[in-house]
Amino acid sequence: MPARLAFYYGPMDCGKSTLALQIDHNHSRQGRSGLLLVRYDRSGGARITTRVGLSREAVEVEDDTDIRQLVRARWARGEPLDYMVVDEAGFLTSEHVEQLAELVDDWHVDVYCFGLATDFRSRLLPGAARLFELADDLIRVHVEVLCWCGRFGQLNARIVDGVVVREGATVVVADTANGGAAGEPAVRYQVLCRPHYRSGQLGPGEMVAPGQLRLQLDPEHARDQSRGARATK
Ligand SMILES: [Zn+2]
């Protein structure tokens, strides 16, 4: 059977990293040799970590990493390679994805990618865009994540001081539960259905106070919010 390039995509918290480690486990149990790669892991280190507490060592993919070189170096050491698992693949560059496609087609390595499809602006991430163009298999993962209203959670909202922000730079913020230092805006992410992403309603647990609602509708304040988001790393 020819090797395949697969992309499993979904919003945050949908269990993608857990599925990534499960696929790795299933293959290695069959005696296949794998390589785990990660782009911006939430742990900040070169590991694939999951919210259910699983973790495995992984090689971090940097902007200028040539993934083919990683594989060649491994083969030069006499280590076999049958498959790769790539977590946070939405943040890969187009070039990275093209390198993966080459590994699949010319070198017969199975590649399983996992990641977000869209950023907080609801725009495709670069790695996801190229994977949608090139992958053999596109699998939407949405088993575990729902919007507060019960609809399928589809989009990752960036929330700055309680307000959904839909523009600004794509910045990776690892699990910022409750804002940064004093004086900085509180930034967090929440998975919402499309209607609630669009309306900015965050659910009964996050009912906006009347004052905040007025601020949200004030264009001057909205601009301040997006400036704050850009400044927040
Ligand atoms: Zn909803």
For the chain, what are the domain ranges? 5-140, 155-231
Which stretch of DSSP H or E encloses residue 47? strand 47-49
Q: Give the Å distance between the CA of 191 and the centre of ligand 1.
A: 9
Positions marked active-site: 88
Cα(198) to centroid(ligand 1), Å:
10
C-alpha 9/C-alpha 25 separation (Å) is 19
Which CATH code is given to the segment(s) 5-140? Answer: 3.40.50.300
Q: How far is the CA of 194 from the centre of ligand 1 (A)?
A: 7
Q: Looking at residue 72, what is its pLDDT?
A: 95
How many CB atoms neighbour CB 10 within 10 A? 25
**Any idea which residue has 């890969």 for tokens?**
92
| Reported confidence tier of residue 48, pLDDT bands at 50, 70, 90 | confident
| Count of C-beta atoms within a 10 Å radius of residue 233 | 9
pTM (2 decimals)? 0.74
- Residue recorded with tokens 């989009």: 155
Tens-digit pLDDT profile for residues 75-124: 999 999 999 999 999 999 999 999 999 999 999 999 999 999 999 999 99
CA of 72 to the centre of ligand 1 (A): 46
In sequence order, what are the residues at sequence separation of 6 or more whose Cβ sits closer than 8 angstroms to the Cβ of residue 198? none
